[in-house]
Amino acid sequence: MTSEPLTTLRPLPGDVVGAVRLPAWVPKAAIASFLVASFTATWGGFMIAGLQLADMFLVMSLGVIGVLVVFGDLRFRIPWWLFAPVVALLACLLALSVVPIPDAVFGARYQPPFITPDSLVKALYWIIALVAVPLAAVACSALDARVVTWILACFLAGVCVSAMVALTDLTALTHIAQSIGYDSNNRRQPGLTVHPNSLGITCVIAAPFAVHFMNQARHHWLPTIALVILFGGALATGSRGTQAVLPLAVLAAILVSPHKKRVLGLLAGIAVAGILGGFFILQQLVLGFLGELLRFGGTNVNTGGDTERRMVTLQALEDISRYPFFGIGIEHIVEAHNIYLQILSAGGLVLAAGMFTYWFCALFSCWRAGRHGVAVAPFLVISIVAWLAIGAIENQLTDRLLYYTVGCAAALAAAHVSERVKRPRIRASRTGPTR
């Protein structure tokens, strides 16, 4: 797969007084660690000693970046908007510590059956996702301008691996999810993530990148196969939101593709292969439980989940009406099965303002980069918008895997600011042109 540089300029020149000349492999180690983190970001169900692989490599990358900043000549600009939700989170925590919510309120609330950490711990975990992941992406892009494309390629590949695990588990060829601790009484598959909905949302986020690489790659069949796997993973998750939004995200990506004929030709091949082979595979392997995976009808399979969603939605609306400014606490940030209700319920209007600023600036940074000829930028916009669209019916908000795309948007923003700062300014003569 080919990749285009974001800019010919590094965010800041490496002329730093007193900087130590570090070995050439040190910056490469920072980039490689973050790329491995991007590749394994969606493998939340696979842990070593209680730690996710992606988190281990993220910490490793941040550690090397710290060495390059403190002892080397690495300097980069951090987009200010990364800290907007952090300020909002701290304001909510401070407000609720000064004027806490009475215990009687929580006693009367409808509480979902899962257990979450307290507000401070949950806020700290979320801040890592909101800031640390994008910070690493910005720093790595300062070391090599091609890193954004590499991050997206690794993220797409990792999602495809997880989706393939879901498909092989669905067809009983493997039992990988069960072996790493996932237990369920239905056929919905999580792949290597912690829940089928998590796999579903990552398939949606990654699909526009597959279409991007279909436009860019020398070997077009690789991203084409990746897109087929993503659709298969979406089926295996049984997530209605995923199955509804994924085709729309792919269609939007096709519309912004610079080589629409090529992409449509590849997709036509996919359609023919699906007609000839897909129905046979479904009939032989999964036809008996297809109703559990395509859950758009009002069947008994959906009853429990839909009832739970109604209960948490009504509770979130009640929370918003009673505590509209600072919410009821960040520990309730994943309860409402709607990220917008969750934000307003847990952090009120203050947190909503911070998150709106965060998302708007990320999208604006991608749009601006697209105006300057960065080929991947429109696909980043579609990916983030698709996440925000599916968020209306899902609760994935604090997962670190969601913020690798935001990190790429932050890298585009940092590159644009640095290029603008380094562009020479020409002052007009006050006395007019010289004759």
Q: What DSSP letter does each residue of 167-231 carry, written as one string?
A: HHHHTTS--HHHHTT---SSS---TTSSSHHHHHHHHHHHHHHHHHHHHH-SSTHHHHHHHHHHH
User: Which residue shows structure tokens 């030709």?
Assistant: 265
Q: Give the residue, 144 or 300, on which the prediction is more confident.
A: 144
Determine the pLDDT at residue 10. Answer: 42
For strand 51-52 and strand 47-48, is the pairing parallel, antiparallel, or unpaired?
Answer: antiparallel
Taking residues 237-265, report their average pLDDT: 88
Does some domain include residue 199?
no
Q: What is the pTM of this model?
A: 0.87
Determine the pLDDT at residue 17. Answer: 53
Does some domain include residue 356?
yes
pLDDT at 57 over 70: yes
Determine the pLDDT at residue 68. Answer: 93
Does some domain include residue 217?
no
pLDDT at 145 over 80: yes
Per the structure, how many domains does the chain have?
1
Does some domain include residue 63?
yes
Domain carrying residue 384: 25-188+308-418
pLDDT at 180 over 60: yes
Determine the pLDDT at residue 434. Answer: 44
Does some domain include residue 123?
yes
Does some domain include residue 17?
no
Q: Are 263 and 215 in contact (CB under 8 A)?
A: yes
Q: Give the residue, 334 or 407, on which the prediction is more confident.
A: 407
Does some domain include residue 374?
yes
What secondary structure does DSSP assign to 379-433, as a single string? HHHHHHHHHHHHTTT----S-GGGGHHHHHHHHHHHHHHHHHHHSPP-PPPTT--
pLDDT at 303 over 80: no
pLDDT at 427 over 50: no
Sequence-separated (6 or more) residues with CB below 8 Å from residue 214: 220, 223, 224, 227, 257, 262, 263, 266
Nearest CA-CA partner of 38 in 191, 189, 167, 140: 140
Tokens of residue 189, six digits:
């598959």
Residue 432's pLDDT band (cuts 50, 70, 90): very low
Q: Are 351 and 95 in contact (CB under 8 A)?
A: no
Determine the pLDDT at residue 295. Answer: 60
pLDDT at 431 over 50: no
| Chain center to CA of 304 | 28
Residue 79's pLDDT band (cuts 50, 70, 90): very high
